[in-house]
Structure 1
C-alpha cells in the first residue's frame, strides 16, 4: 500500500492541477485502479492488516511453544530463559522452522497476554472515620554507620489521607501492636474499620471469600480499639491502594537519599516530623482548597476516641537456667535468683521484655535485637553473693557494674582487703531490703565520718529504720512551778509512831 506522501500527491495532482487519472498513473508509475481508489475513498492514509497469519512452519508446534512460553513467564526474572534457549528447546522437540518465526510468534503471544492481564479498577471513597489501611515496607538506612534494612509500618486514614510512619527492627506481632498504639495516639482516635493484607501476625487461616480466622491476640487489640478488621483478597494490593501508594511516596521522599541516623528513636522522631510537614504542605486530592492536615483536623471528631494504650506483648514460656538466665530471640537475659527452678512467662514488647512468675515481675530489660548476646542485671545476682561472696570479684554480671558514687567509693575502699568482698556483699544485700537511696545515703554518711566498715553502714541503716523518739526541749518557763507544794509534817509523825 502506498504511503501518505504518495496519496497526498495524487490528490493534489487531481484536485489542484486538474490532471487526469491516466496522466497521474503514468507520472507516478502506479496503477490507475490505485489512483481511482484514492480519489473515490477520500482517505489520506491506508492501512493493511492481515486477518489471519498462516504460520505454515510453526502451526503444528503452537501448543508446545505456548507451553514453553507460559512456563518461562511463570519463573522468577533471574531464572527465565532467553528466546534463543526456547527456540533451541523447540528444535529439540522436532521443529524445523527458523528463529524469526518463533520470535514473531512470541511477540504476538506476549502482546495478547499483556492485553488480557490489563486490570480495571473502580475509584473508592471513604467517609470520615470510616477506615484506615495498614502495611509494611523495607527500607535501607545507615544506622551508626552500618547499612541496615529497617521494617517500616505505614498507617493511613482513608478519608483525610493523613499518614503515620514508624520504623522497627522486626515485623513481629508486638511491633504491629506498638505501631497501632502510637498511630492512634497520634491521630487521637481510631477508625471503625482497618484494612490489612493477610500478614501472618494478624491472619491464621484464609477461607473462601473474605472469611478469615484472625489471630487471637490481634483480635484482642482490635477489640480494645473498637476496630473491625478486614483482610484483602490474596495478591490484590489495589484493595488497599492508598497505603500501597504511600509506601512508594515515603520511599522516594523520606528514604532517598539513604538516611544516616544514630538510633531508632532519632529516626522515628524525624519520620513523624516529615509526616506532619508533608500533610501541611500538600493539598488534599479531592478537596483541593484544603491541605491534608486541615482535612485531618476536621476528621478527628469522627474518629473513635483513643481508649489508652493496649498491653501489646507477645508471650512465650521459658525455663530459667541455674545461672539465672532465660533465652529469648537468640539472646539471654538475667532474671531474679528466686525464679530459678520454675518456668517463667516472657512478655516481649516492641522496646523491652518482661519476665513474670506467679504474677510478679522477676526481670525487666531493654530489648536487644542482636544475636548471641547476654544482658545482665547485677542486682538479680546479689542474693547469690551472700553464699558466694568471692564471685563479686570475677562474676560476669558484675564486670563494668556502674554503682552510685558513694557505693562505688566504698567498693574501692574494700578492694584488696581480705574480707573486703564479704563486707561489700553485706552492704549490697541491704539494698534488697532498704532500697538503693537509703544505702547510698548511709554510705555517704559513713564516708563523711571517715569510716566505711559494713558494720557501721548497717548500723546507720538500722537507726534510719528505727529513729529515736523526739527529745523534749526544756525551757525556764517549762521548769517554773505552777502550784507550790504544801509541807505536811503529819506524815512524818505517823511514820515515827509506826516505828
Structure 2
C-alpha cells in the first residue's frame, strides 16, 4: 500500500517537474501501473479494506455466537459477561478457535447492531416557563460514617437549564411531592408543563401513544401547582434528554469524589449551594454570552407563581396496639393512649409521620428509615402511668427522657421518697392539663422554697389557676363619708327585747 508521502512525490514529479513515467518508476522504484493509477485517479491517498474477513474456525459457530452475544446484550449492565466468559462458553459448546477471532467477531457484531439501532433526533427548544423535566438517579455517599445509596431527585427548567437536585432515602410518592415543593419554592414558581418518565408514583397505566392514567394523588399535586403532566414514550429517554444528561453531569461533578456528610439535611443544603454555584459559573448552551443563572433570572417572571406547599402525604390505614404503637414501613411509632382500640390513618411525609384518628392528630414523629426501629413520645404514655406509676422507672418510652431542668431536679429528689414515682406521675399528669411551661414554673417556685413534693407543686398550680381578686373601684369624692359610723352591737339587742 502506498504511503501518502510516496503519492505526493509521484504527483509533484509528474505534474510539476515534468518527468516521464519511466523516470519516476526508475527513481522511486515503483511499478508503472502504480504511477499511472496515481496520475489518472487524482487521489492523494489510497486505502484498502478487505470486503470479507475469512473466518475458517468461527464460521460454523456463527449462529451460536450470535445467540450468546444477543443474550448478553439483553442483560442488565451489571450482569453482562465479559468477552473472555463468552469465549469460554463457546469453547464449552465445542469451538476450537482462538479468543482473538471471537473478540474481532464480537466487535463487528456490536458495530452492526449499533448501526441498525441508531436513530436521529430533532433538537428541542422551550419557551420561558413552558416546561420542566423530572427524573431520579442513585448515588453513593457517606452519611455519618456509613456508606449509603441515596435516591436523588432532579428537577430542571427546560428554557434556562436551571436545576435543583435533592437526596432522599426512598423514591416513594411522598418524596416526589417534597422534591417538587422544594424545587418550586427554590425557583419561585412552576412551569405550565411537567415532563416525566412513566414512574409508578405518577402513572398507574400506560396506553398507546401519549394516553396515560395518572395516580390520583399525583394529579392533585399537579392541580395545586397548576402543572399539566406529560409522560414520555416508553424507552424514549431523548424526550427528556436535558435531565437525562444532567444525571451524568451531577454524578461526575457533585458526587465524585464520594461526599461525606453528617445527615440528609447537610447533604441537601450542600447540593443546593452546588446547583447555584454551577449555574453562575457555566454558560447557557444556546446563549453562550450569558450564564445559566442569568437566563434563570430572566425566566423567573414567566413561571407560574409559587402557590405554597402542597400537603404531600401518603396515607395508609393502621391499627393501634395495646402498647400504643402503630407500624409503618417496618418501624413503629407511638400514639396517644386514648387512640388504643380504634383504627387510625398514618400520613407519611418525606421527613415526618403524622397519625390521625377521626381527624385530630394523635401522634407526630420525625420519620425513621431502616428496619425494626421504635420511636416513642413519652408524653403519649403519661395517662397510662396514672394507673401504673411503677412503670416510670423501667418503661421503655421513659428511658433517656430529657425533661426540662426543674422537672428533672424534682424527679431526682423524688427517687429517694417511698412514693416518689406516684408523686412524679401526678406532676407529669398536670402538665397535660396546665401545660409544660406552667408545671416547669411551679417546680421552679417549689424548689426555690426548698420543697419538691407533688402536693406543693399542684397547690401552686391551683393557686395560679384561681381568678385574680377584682380590681378596687375608686370612690368619687362626693360619695366619700365625712363621719364614719361607730360600731354599736347593742342596737341588735333592741329588736330582740321587743320580740319578747
Q: CA deviation at 1:208?
A: 1.8
Pick closer, same or farther for the CA change 1:169–1:474 going to 2, 3 Å.
same
Helix, strand or coil: the match of 1:393? Answer: helix
Q: Following superposition of structure 1 onto structure 2, how do residues 341-490 of structure 1 map, counting pairs within 5 Å?
A: 341-470=341-470, 472=472, 480-481=480-481
Supply the RMSD in Å over aligned alpha carbons. Answer: 3.3
Q: Distance in 2 between matches of 1:328 and 1:105?
A: 54
Structure 1, gaps ≥5 residues long: 486-490
Q: Distance in 2 between matches of 1:376 and 1:307?
A: 35
Structure 2, gaps ≥5 residues long: 486-490
Using the TM superposition, name which of 267-276 and 328-337 deviates more.
267-276
2:152 maps to what in 1?
A: 152
Q: Distance in 1 between matches of 2:92 and 2:236?
A: 39
1:73 maps to what in 2?
A: 73
Q: CA deviation at 1:306?
A: 1.1
Q: Distance in 2 between matches of 1:308 and 1:102?
A: 61
Q: CA deviation at 1:468?
A: 4.4
TM-score normalised to the size of structure 1?
Answer: 0.88
Q: Distance in 2 between matches of 1:295 and 1:85?
A: 51
Q: CA deviation at 1:72?
A: 3.2
2:193 maps to what in 1?
A: 193
Helix, strand or coil: the match of 1:347? Answer: strand
Q: Distance in 2 between matches of 1:347 and 1:270?
A: 28
2:324 maps to what in 1?
A: 324
Q: CA deviation at 1:384?
A: 0.7
Helix, strand or coil: the match of 1:265? Answer: helix
Using the TM superposition, name which of 359-368 and 166-175 deviates more.
166-175
TM-score normalised to the size of structure 2?
Answer: 0.88
Q: Distance in 2 between matches of 1:17 and 1:109?
A: 49
Q: Distance in 2 between matches of 1:85 and 1:166?
A: 40
Pick closer, same or farther for the CA change 1:174–1:81 going to 2, 3 Å.
closer
Q: Distance in 2 between matches of 1:75 and 1:369?
A: 31
1:40 maps to what in 2?
A: 40
2:136 maps to what in 1?
A: 136
Q: Distance in 2 between matches of 1:461 and 1:95?
A: 93
Q: CA deviation at 1:102?
A: 5.3
How many residue pairs end up in the alignment?
493
2:488 maps to what in 1?
A: none
Helix, strand or coil: the match of 2:403? Answer: coil
Q: Distance in 2 between matches of 1:496 and 1:266?
A: 90
Q: Distance in 1 between matches of 2:230 and 2:482?
A: 89
Pick closer, same or farther for the CA change 1:189–1:43 going to 2, 3 Å.
closer
Helix, strand or coil: the match of 1:141? Answer: strand
Pick closer, same or farther for the CA change 1:56–1:365 going to 2, 3 Å.
closer
